[in-house]
Structure 1
Amino acid sequence: MARRRRVASVRPDQSFKGRQFTAEVILWAVRWYLMFPISYRDLELMLADRGVDVAHTTLFRWTQTYAPEIEKRIRPHLRPSNGSWRVDETYVRVKGRWMYLYCAVDSRSQTIDFLLSAKRDAEAAKRFFRKALGQPHTVNPRTITVDKNPAYPCAVEQMKEGGELWRFSRLRQVKFLNNIVEQDHRRVKRLARPGLGFGGFHTARRTLAGYEVMAMIRKGQVREIGGRDMRAQAAFVAKLFQIAP
């Protein structure tokens, strides 16, 4: 007697189990907070205007939980970046102290990766390069354009010697070529301004991951999703969590 084949069943996503509000409401709120320069209290009023009574502290917890989850789930769906990297870092205030947000884009302004660091030195630069090289949509860079920060040549040389970076990668220290990555820095500062800084390193890291991943979507980096098609973007994020739009 032939054995019956077992039909594999898809387990429902448990990310929203136990939440008072529906997944659709939560994802809507998180997406809007990460896309537009508004505070949690502003978002609380916007939701109340639509009949959803939720405290700004709850909105904060949603963002801390789901922003990094969206970032993790979206990575495999990104279009490949090219080998012309533009790398720069900017200051971010975290609990009254200045931290450093490393960011890299390619020559088409597509985001390669980002990293929040407490220090701005060769070790931080190497951590950032390793993180960027480990992403599924990136390639070993042909050129790396940076500013005059002396940490970059040291980091690149050490990574080449260790075989972590292509030995023919060319480092260019030309500040004006990094204008496109500085545009990303201005966007992050505009989004963070209503919140008046971050209360802690991990809070900042999770929120910044959300800012960056929503920017990737709006830049059109997700395959088959237009950068200005808000409905398609919302449906795509819902699909990441196995939610019917």
Structure 2
Amino acid sequence: MKQPRISYKNYRFPPQIIAHSVWLYFRFPLSLRLVEEMLLERGIVVSYETIRRWGKKFGPHYTHRLHRKQPGRDDIWRLDEMVISINGRKHWLWRAVDQDGYVLDEIVQSRRNTKAARRLLKRLLRKQGMAPKRMITDKLRSYGAARRQLMAHVEHRSHKGLNNRAENSHVPLRKRERVMQGFRSPGSLQHFVSIFSAVRNLFVPPRTSQSAFQIHLHRLGAMAEWKTMTEALA
């Protein structure tokens, strides 16, 4: 099914600059002011607030058009949660990655219990369209309870040492959290991570790409897809 075109009508800057600005902000640990400075070095005078509005407006359009990795019955889901303080209150970002480190889904919730774990699994089953071969988590009992309710036939391995890949997936967001000096609301966090992880999924090479040449080819292909998807070809 052909995607509708992205409308850049009534925007003073060309699509190439808008798409490049959104890419810089979500791809690298840069603040909006640093992106503004990098563009200024190229002779592009645009405020950080304009870049923020571009990310809010076009980021969801871009991620909706990105190519999703097709699910498989041999997939392994690795689930973990990270705590994030927003306005002095604790929230948890629940995340699922597959065996290659590809982020499958994320959801911000105010609880760390069985209901929250079940909500994540429901979203995953709806998005992926099938259950995984295996589920790996830490020792949090909520995962096991939620699995028994929704997909009791799926093998579940619960061990902190087995879940390093899911835990490591939190590191890039932690870096962004420090650069951005935190998030203002659960909604803004959910909006940001949905775009941030989709961009990372596109640009970070899979674990099977080990050589420098393979990584180089992957990045070139990702850049070409980004330009095509954003309709920002020169």
1:181 aligns with 2:162: no
Quick one: distance in 2 between partners of 1:202 and 1:38? 21
Q: Deviations over 1:175-232 (max 9, x none)?
A: 11010111110111112211001112222111111221121112346xxxx7644443
Q: What residue identity is the alignment partner of 1:144?
A: M
Q: Deviations over 1:117-139 (max 9, x none)?
A: 22222222122112222225x64
Other-structure match for 1:201:
186
For the residue of structure 2 that corresponds to 1:119, the secondary structure is: coil
1:213 aligns with 2:189: no
Q: CA separation of 1:128/1:180 partners in 2, compared to 1, >3 Å: closer, same or farther?
A: same
Other-structure match for 1:102:
94
Quick one: distance in 2 between partners of 1:133 and 1:219? 24
Overall identity of the aligned pairs, in %: 25
Contact 2:6 2:231 in 1 (8 A): no
Quick one: distance in 1 between partners of 2:88 and 2:12? 34
Matches within 5 A, 1:69-218: 69-74=61-66, 76-80=67-71, 82-136=74-128, 139-159=130-150, 165=151, 167-218=152-203
Contact 1:67 1:206 in 2 (8 A): no
What is the CA distance between 1:11 and its match in structure 2?
Answer: 9.0
Matches within 5 A, 1:37-52: 37-52=29-44
Q: Deviations over 1:132-172 (max 9, x none)?
A: 22225x6411211111212212211221xxxxx3x420222
Scaled by the length of structure 1, the TM-score of the pair is 0.82
Other-structure match for 2:57:
65
Deviating above 6 A after TM superposition, structure 1's stretches of 4 or more consecutive aligned residues are: none
Q: What residue identity is the alignment partner of 1:192?
A: E
For the residue of structure 2 that corresponds to 1:86, the secondary structure is: strand
Gaps of 5+ in 1: 1-9, 160-164
Other-structure match for 1:235:
224
- CA RMSD in angstroms comes to 2.3
Aligned length, in residue pairs: 224
For the residue of structure 1 that corresponds to 2:52, the secondary structure is: helix
For the residue of structure 1 that corresponds to 2:97, the secondary structure is: strand
Other-structure match for 1:5:
none
Gaps of 5+ in 2: 207-213
Quick one: distance in 2 between partners of 1:65 and 1:201? 18
Contact 1:67 1:209 in 2 (8 A): no
For the residue of structure 1 that corresponds to 2:9, the secondary structure is: coil
Contact 1:86 1:178 in 2 (8 A): yes
Scaled by the length of structure 2, the TM-score of the pair is 0.85
Q: What residue identity is the alignment partner of 1:146?
A: T
